[in-house]
Chain A
Amino acid sequence: MKIFDQIAMCLQNLSRRKVRTALTTMGVVIGTCAIVVMISLGVGLQKSQEAMLAQMGDLTKIEIYNYSGGAGGTSSVPNLDDSMIEQIAAYDHVDVITPVVQAEWGKINIQCGDYIYQDSIYGVYPEALEKLGYVLKEGKYPTGKEKDYTILFGENGPYSFYNPKNPEEWHDPSSGDPPVDIFSDDFTISVNAQDPEGNAKEPEKYDATVTGVLVGDWNKGYETVYGAFLSIDQLYKLYQEYDEFNGISSTSSSAFNPRKINYNRVYVKVTDMKYVDEVETKIKDLGYDTYSMETVRKPMQEQANKMMLILGSLGGISLLVAAMGITNTMIMSIYERTREIGIMKVLGCVIGDIRTVFLMEAGLIGFGGGVIGVILSFAISIVLNVLGGGGLGGLMGGYYYGGGGDAATQISVIPIWLVGLALVFSTLIGLVSGFSPANRAVKISALEAIKHE
């Protein structure tokens, strides 16, 4: 038999019992719908959670806090020094790592004309800034290879310059220009005298280049808004000069000793969200405290997965019932068609063809039900998203960034893989349900069948 004839026969058989075919298909439609809509709710929840977390911070960043840090830590935790950083950098999936050292206030000045910046100066690995997700607003990233002092400001850093002679002068970042123009003005950097009156000579002023400003993002930290970034080497050079200038001896407890560095804050960026847990666990095992969105994300995702599983199983049950419906329909169909099957066999229809026709019928019920079910699911999904804008997804994600109609707040999201999965699954259900009836049809004795009334 030609495949075309098999299909024609299959369609003919299905259309001969329209009501039953429709009802059986309806079972599959409902089952598919249940699964797709339920899973789409789970996906929607997950999506809105992820969007929310992304708003809260970088999902692939791990922050290491070493509370025993500072000079001469006493705990058993190993020093978080350069060699330790190298060790962590060598871990799998670590994209970039940098210590973050905030300069002690008042040790260093950035100067531009009459204006001075003393707000928050950070020492980092400049080459790590871009990968850490600090976004440039203007200019370019420092490369870390510059000979001169090189500064990258947070978005409002230039507004933090103040005039010591006129402390009341205030530049509002939300309106008006900053007192300094980072691209045309000349900047210098210098250490501060510990006691300005007691020191005869002025500290030396070094030329500094400003490469650009970042986009301020409170979720990434204060430093992106009002901070200024220096390379960590340059920061330590200034520290040493500060000690020398102010006559602090190297044996003093407050003296800076590059050999005894113990960073108390290090940022690690991993290549993908899914590795955060692995890398974070390793770092924790070293004895450091860590913070990442993973600690928030993981329980949330587990919750979403659990919910998706529960919802999906509910849908699965209805599809299971539908599968029984298909089997039932096919068995009934065999009883009704026993005689026809017998005639076909006697007239020389090979059993493979009979089996194929039966499997096609069952598979078609499954596939057709799946297609209708998916279409219906999209309709339900749209209705849910329109009606329930302030519902589940809105509750989870909406309040954080004001809700609204953006994709992340949709309750129900049907990704393309879900469509494929639903179609494959429903067809498979049909085929599996039809398998035993089809074999039963094949085993019917032609002789018995043609006697069958």
Chain B
Amino acid sequence: MEKTPFIEIRGLKKVYKLGKERVVALDDINLTIQRGEICCILGTSGSGKSTLLNMMAGLERPTKGKVLYSNKDVTRFDERRWALFRQKNIGFVFQSYNLMTGLSGVENVAMPLMFRGMDKDKRTRIAKEVLREVGLGNRMKHKPTQMSGGQQQRVGIARAFVTNPKIVFADEPTGNLDSKTTTEVMELMVNKSRENNQTFILVTHDNGIARYADRIVTIVDGKIVRDEKNESIARTREQIASDNAQEVRQQAAAEEETEVSAPIPADEAAANMSTEGAE
């Protein structure tokens, strides 16, 4: 791991003023992340993990300290330069998906390409391809409101990866999803990042999904308390896969149980099927 640092955070500090009180959200964070690394920032709510992500993405300004991308200081970028920087280098996956409700799946995915000024035909073609890759080949023309949470998040993932960015940020990407969908979504994101040697930064409070990362940085009260290689990642991929399979089986079993104990009328079940779709 002796590469040049891709993302470097030096002495980052963020202080919020709430009335007369000063709240230290982040205190002297130093962190180096390599190209292609899959890094999880783990912390409870209020630990400052989201603030850290926001500052890495230029959505918030640090009180002190620097953020460098490939040795380039981006801390003092103005809004326009940040927008262009995000346009070129960063993909985002949100907890609440943040899709445009008025646009179809394809249009949502193609949006970052539109901001870059790409032709409509070209960007639609690319967006369709990425949507197929995330398994939504049959839901392209649907509006987000016609999709399940898992499908919406897949659209969100497709949108984050469509520009083939160097970095993808995911802020509690599975917070609104059930465990089965969580597994699918996490694997999708991690696999895509690995495929393209993209740096993937996952922000979560969930130990369960942290295990997908190569490295877990734990933040408590605005300070990094632990920075370690993921031990579970040392296990073979097969193991994770079998774990997941087991989980799915358990879940399926649980669902069957509920079905047995409380049978759902046929048409309602059909309705569920249609809204749940590809899940």
**Complex: A450 Cα to B98 Cα, angstroms:** 7
Task: Tell me which residues across on chain A come within 8 A of B84, comparing CB atoms.
Answer: 348, 350
A210 at the interface (CB under 8 A from B): no
Query: How long is the Cα–Cα vector from A351 to B83 in the complex, in angstroms?
Result: 8
* Shortest Cβ gap from A19 to chain B (Å): 15
Tell yes or no: B57 within 8 A of A by CB.
yes
Which one of B83, B116, B119, B120 lies within 8 Å of A345 (CB-CB)?
B83
**A12 touches B (CB below 8 Å):** yes
Query: What's the minimum C-beta distance from B56 to chain A, rounded to whole angstroms?
Result: 13
List 25 contacting pairs A-B, 8 Å CB cutoff, sorted by A: A1-B114, A2-B117, A4-B120, A5-B117, A5-B120, A16-B102, A343-B100, A344-B115, A346-B57, A346-B59, A347-B86, A347-B87, A347-B92, A347-B111, A347-B159, A348-B83, A348-B84, A348-B85, A348-B88, A349-B115, A350-B83, A350-B87, A351-B79, A351-B80, A447-B60
Judge if A269 is at the interface, Cβ distance under 8 Å.
Answer: no
Asked if B54 lies at the interface with its beta carbon under 8 angstroms from chain A, I say yes
Tell me whether A352 is interfacial, beta carbon within 8 Å. yes
- On chain A, the residues within 8 Å of B80 by CB distance are 350-352
The 8 Å CB contact of B98, one of A343, A350, A351, is: A343
Q: Which of B54, B90, B120 contacts A348 (CB 8 A)?
A: B90
A345 to B92, CA, bound (A): 11
In the complex, which range does the number of interface residues on chain A fall in?
20 to 34
Chain A residue nearest to B118 (CB atoms) is A2
Using A348-B112, A349-B83 as known contacts, list a sample of 6 further A-B pairs with CB atoms less than 8 Å apart, ordered by residue number in A. A5-B117, A343-B99, A346-B57, A347-B86, A347-B92, A347-B111
Say if the beta carbon of B6 comes within 8 Å of chain A: no
Whether A61 is near chain B, meaning CB under 8 Å from some CB there, is: no
B100 & A353 in contact (Cβ 8 Å cutoff): no
Bound: A300/B102 CA distance, A: 58
Q: Which 10 A-B pairs have the closest CB atoms?
A: A348-B87, A348-B86, A350-B83, A447-B59, A349-B115, A343-B98, A347-B112, A5-B114, A2-B117, A348-B115
Question: Chain A residues near B79 (CB, 8 Å)?
Answer: 351
Q: Which residue of B lies closest to A8 (CB)?
A: B120
What is the chain B residue whose CB lies nearest that of A12?
A: B102
Does chain B have a CB within 8 A of A446? yes
Closest to B99 in A: A343
Chain A residues 426-447 with CB under 8 Å of chain B are: 446-447
> How close is A385's CB to chain B, nearest CB, in angstroms?
45
A447 to B88 alpha-carbon distance, docked (Å)? 19
Cα separation A13 to B100 with both chains bound (whole Å): 11
Question: Is residue A58 within 8 Å, beta carbon to beta carbon, of the partner chain?
Answer: no
A13 to B116, CA, bound (A): 20
Contact B115 A347 (CB under 8 A): yes
Chain B neighbourhood of A2, CB < 8 A: 114, 117, 119
* B53-94 contact mask (Cβ, 8 Å, vs A): 1 or 0: 010010110000000000000000001100111111010101
| Chain A proximity mask over B91-127: 1 for CB below 8 Å, otherwise 0 | 0101000111010000000011011110110000000
Is A47 positioned at the interface, with any CB of B under 8 Å from its CB? no
